[in-house]
Amino acid sequence: MVLGRGTRLLAGAVIMACLVLVGPSAPVGSVPAAVARDVVPNRVMTWNLCNPCKARSVDRAAEIATYAPQVIGLQEACVRDVERIRADLARHFGLRYHVAYGSVLRNWGRCGGAPWHPGAFGQAILSAAPITDVVTAEYPDGGSEDRGYMAVTTTVGGQLVRVFDTHLAQRRQEAVRAEQTRVLAAAVARHDRVIVLGDFNAVPETPELSEMWALAADADPGCHHAPTSDCEPTTDWQSKFDYLFLRGIVALEHRVQPTPYSDHHLLLADLRLGSVHP
């Protein structure tokens, strides 16, 4: 049967509508639906990607594009995966980010490559604005796996700000995390306006986080360094391990968004920045 022009146009419209409605469970090869737009200039986000976890870069990019943060801190990040996410953000959603890496491991089994050229693994910071003054530091004791922090200067809400991204030692290593937090807090304390993103692998009331709480507040207004605080969980096991610490900056609102692509949720905040120099 030969379709008339009007019928063909209607069929094409139906197909396009179906493509737009395709969500994160779309078949391999399709692009998840997300709203492509300019970044939100005062929005920041932290996300532990979960590695190894099975997720397409375009699915991870779609999660980021849904909220279009100005700055994103990633943990458990293979360099090659981040490059693919950046490429998909630009190609499919029109969002372009600069990147800096805080890799602490070169892991062939986790990040691919070859035994003689393993992939780099650690933290990464994406920023819609240029990134300067990159610092990467490995903690003196990483615990069961090398861990560290990175810091950059970039623009959030039209103001220069120092941004840290970290991943502390795994659970049941309290003494190691306490020393890591001491090292991180000493670096953070040098700046008046700071955003600290990351997976601290500890719930808020634990003693090892006390030095960070002394310097900064979490973007979650109900969350404090006390067992009685009301902290929104950021993981699939209903614990708060992920933080968005703010020093010299105020959170206007925050959001925790579960995702099928990691055992850690997306943690986002919209910020108000003053004129204090970072």
- Structure confidence at residue 203 (pLDDT): 96
Rounded distance, CA 213 to CA 169, Å? 18
pLDDT: which is higher, 81 or 113? 81
* CATH at 248: 3.60.10.10
Instruction: Say if CB 99 and CB 125 are below 8 A apart.
Output: yes
Domain assignment present for 2: no
3-class state of residue 107 by DSSP = strand
Please state, rounded to an integer, the average pLDDT across all residues of the chain.
89
Please state, for a pLDDT cut of 90, what percent of the chain lies above it.
77
Q: Is residue 114 part of a domain?
A: yes
Cβ atoms of residues 105 and 146 within 8 Å: yes
- pLDDT of 213 higher than 60: yes
Rounded average pLDDT over 209-221:
97
The answer as to whether 82 is a domain residue is yes
The arithmetic mean of pLDDT across residues 156-176, rounded, is: 96
* pLDDT 10s digits, 167-189: 999 988 999 999 999 999 999 99
At 36 the pLDDT is 56
Q: Which of 16-30, 65-79, 211-225 has the lowest mean pLDDT?
A: 16-30
3-state SS, 161-187, equals: EEEEEEECCCCCCHHHHHHHHHHHHHH
Is 80 exceeded by the pLDDT of residue 266?
Answer: yes
| Residue 73 pLDDT exceeds 50 | yes
pLDDT at residue 278 in the model: 74
Instruction: Evaluate whether residue 150 is within a structural domain.
Output: yes
Q: Tell me if 269 is assigned to some domain.
A: yes
120 pLDDT higher than 70: yes
What is the residue range of 180's domain? Answer: 34-273
Does residue 255 lie within any of the structural domains?
Answer: yes
Query: What is the mean pLDDT of the segment spanning 8-19?
Result: 40
Full-model pTM: 0.88
Query: Residues near 149 by Cβ (< 8 Å), separated by ≥ 6?
Result: 102, 123, 136, 137, 139, 164, 165, 166, 183, 184, 187, 198
Residue 210 domain-assigned? Answer: yes
Q: What is the mean pLDDT of residues 195-199?
A: 98
Among the ranges given (34-43, 89-98, 121-130), the one the predictor scored with the smallest mean pLDDT: 34-43
Domains identified in the chain, total number? 1
pLDDT at 128 over 90: yes
> Average pLDDT, stretch 59-81?
97
pLDDT value at position 23? Answer: 41
Report residue 236 CA to chain centroid gap.
16
What pLDDT score does 76 carry?
A: 96
Does 172 map to a domain?
A: yes
pLDDT in tens, 20-69: 333 444 444 577 776 657 999 999 999 999 998 889 999 999 999 999 99
Q: What's the burial of 227, exposed, middle or buried (CB within 10 Å: 0-12/13-18/19+)?
A: exposed
